[in-house]
Amino acid sequence: MKGVILAGGAGTRMHPLTRITNKHLLPIYDRPMVTYAVESMVGAGVEQIMVVTGGIHAGEFFRLLGNGEDYGIDQLFYAYQERPGGIAEALGLAERFVGGDRVLVMLADNIVEQSIRPLVERFAAQERGARIVLASVDDREHLRHLGVPELDGSGRLVRIVEKPAEPPSAFAVTGLYFYDASVFEVLPTLRPSGRGELEITDVNNWFIDRGTMELDVLEGFWGDAGESIDAYYEVNDFVRSRRHRSGGSATS
């Protein structure tokens, strides 16, 4: 299984911090944000990774990560997104890297507490299709700013609604996605949304419509450190407190 870390975007919700750097290079406690995604993937056994980024600070990722050896990466590749065109567009840049393999896609601003190895193993055992990862969110107002799944009576996915006025469940779709190689057949069929981007929600709903989407629910903490300034500091507070308690890594 290959890994793709998406670290592009304009980061406008994080201004003025992102006027001077890419948001995924901002510090989470004692190291740059993107390294947590790298750590999660490598800890799950994913050692061939591509980082997709863009903008004027793209070269800083190479300065930080180099060839990946210091982070336990076997092979590290880079791709450049010319403009912020959405998560789905960024994933399309990794098509040649992924080839016919399966892929774990992770947004570089997502921080998870628990190891994602069990998720990787479950997708590896899945016959085909895709898998999304959900997190429980108690605040319904917060859910109105996220992608939210609608589930049927047996807990299976019906659809994903982006930024719903009335959230159909108490779960959010996190920035961890698993796909087989058929995802690259879907991407060329997408049309830009109202904000001019190719939406990953459209990709996920394509798999749901065909009955080939499975789900997992994260245990422990999940945070989107790039969602807002407040969310960024909330994630920082969690990682710092956990690091102080454990005396070790802030994620496991």
Residue 191: which of 176, 173, 174, 203 has the closest Cα? 203
Q: Does pLDDT of 114 surpass 80? A: yes
What residue segments make up the domains of the chain, in order of their start?
Answer: 2-246
Q: Does pLDDT of 243 surpass 80? A: no
Q: Could you tell me if 44 and 115 are in contact, meaning their C-beta atoms sit under 8 angstroms apart?
A: yes
Return d(Cα 99, Cα 213) in angstroms, integer: 20
The predicted structure's pLDDT at residue 142 = 93
The overall average pLDDT reported for the chain is 93
The predicted structure's pLDDT at residue 244 = 58
**pLDDT: which is higher, 82 or 120:** 120
Exposure on the CB side of residue 119, measured as CA atoms within 13 A? 29
Provide the percentage of residues in the chain whose pLDDT is more than 70: 96
Q: Could you name the CATH architecture of 2-246?
A: Alpha-Beta Complex (3.90)
Q: Does pLDDT of 252 surpass 60? A: no
pTM above 0.75, yes or no: yes
What's the whole-number mean pLDDT along residues 186-204?
A: 91
